[in-house]
Amino acid sequence: MAKSGKGRRFIVSSIIFIAFLCTIASINELRFDHLLRFSRCALKLEDTLPVNAPVNPSTDEIRVLLGILTLPDHYHRRHFLRLIYATQQMVPGAKVDVKFVFCNLTKEDQRVLIALEIMQYDDIIILNCKENMNNGKSYTYFSSLPDMFNEDSGSSGGAYPPYHYVMKGDDDAYFRLGQLVESLRVLPREDLYYGYTIPCDNMNPYGHYMSGMGYLISWDIVEWLKVSNIPKAHIDGPEDKVFGDWMEQGKKGKNRHNAKWSMYNYPDPPTKCTHELWPDTVAVHLLKTQEKWIQTLKYFNATQDLKPSKLYHIE
């Protein structure tokens, strides 16, 4: 009988032990399953995030206005730049509007041809000013934007601000819009002054100004320019330097970003302001000849998305 009792106890203990092991296994399986599902979710999330996204990105898309200051009679240049910017791939979560900006029309042919351009492309801003380079055109551009876009937000889908950032660019500069957007993702959306710091051999953006090739400000500074008396009292002079003076006098642009050497002058002829063409590029300036444009576009493989067709052969 003693042996029989011990056998029963052994069997009961074995059953309890096996049940315990099954319970532990079930818990581990449940944890593993949760971990597996979590890892799958994490991988899917990672796939949806843009490359180099900040740790806490805003859920809003980045809205940028690039105003290219040019002249009414530069028809061929505008058509050429439309080709360049219309064929660039934009990054998800961003909206970049490229507009061509000049002062009042003065000739009959301009009124006809530019009206046709507007009807076709809707990418022109005509400022109420007399055409100039260093006598207030840039000020008129920035200070006119709040009335254009705050009161009629259809261009930006009804959002405020209509643009987080506004950039002024030259028509002899090549802007890589995707790279511009990526460089802005980690930067503040208020009180921002962004560009290529002058002088060329200086890397500190404070106490200096940004090159006229292309500088960018946040929308709050655009609105400040409209109402402040500081720029109105100091209009004439090299437009980029004068703009920097406004920032200093108004204590604006506390957030500054020196985009050197993502922005630079074309490498030939070499100067302190030039840089070799390289992948980490936002803008290349001083493309004064067709050859320089072609070499730049070739380097950045601007035609890479050309689809094969029986209609043409380009080798």
46-76 in b/e form (b: 16+ CB < 10 A) is eeeeeeeeeeeeeeeebbbbbbbbbebbeee
- On the question of pLDDT at 115 being above 80, the answer is yes
Q: Please report, rounded to a whole number, the percentage of residues in the chain having pLDDT higher than 90.
A: 76
Residue 173's closest CA among 273, 247, 256, 306? 273
* pLDDT at residue 3, rounded to an integer: 45
Q: Is 97 exposed, middle or buried (0-12, 13-18, 19+ CB in 10 A)?
A: middle
Confidence label for 246 from pLDDT (cuts 50, 70 and 90)? very high
Which is more confident, 103 or 7?
A: 103
Indicate if the pLDDT at residue 32 is higher than 50. no
Q: Which helix (H) or strand (E) holds 215?
A: strand 214-218
Mean pLDDT of 28-37: 38
Beta carbons of 198 and 219 less than 8 angstroms apart: no
Q: Which two tokens stand for residue 228?
A: 């402040």
Q: Per-residue pLDDT averaged across 25-41, rounded?
A: 39
pTM for the predicted model, two decimal places: 0.80
Q: How far apart are CA 16 and CA 229, in angstroms?
A: 86
- Mean per-residue pLDDT for 206-223? 97
Alpha-carbon 25 to chain mean position:
52
Mean of all residue pLDDT scores within the chain: 86
Helices (H), the chain: 2-48, 75-86, 108-121, 137-149, 177-184, 219-227, 229-232, 239-249, 290-299
Q: Element (H or E) spanning 263, and its range?
A: strand 263-265
Q: What is the pLDDT of residue 159?
A: 86
Residue 18: pLDDT above 80? no
pLDDT in tens, 258-294: 999 999 999 999 999 999 999 999 999 999 999 999 9
Least confident of 9-13, 86-90, 305-309: 9-13
Which SS3 state, helix, strand or coil, does residue 90 take? Answer: coil
Question: By the 8 A CB rule, do 235 and 139 touch?
Answer: yes
Q: How much is the pLDDT for 253?
A: 98
Pick the closest to residue 159 from 227, 114, 95, 223 (CA basis). Answer: 95
Q: Evaluate whether 283 touches 214 at the Cβ level (below 8 Å).
A: yes
Angle at 53 between CA 52 and CA 55, to 5 degrees: 120
Report whether the peptide linkage leading into residue 308 is cis, meaning its omega lies within 30 degrees of zero. Answer: no
pLDDT digits (tens, 9 = 90+) for 39-72: 333 333 333 223 333 333 455 799 999 999 999 9
Q: Does the pLDDT at position 129 exceed 60?
A: yes
The residue to which tokens 């200086």 are assigned: 202
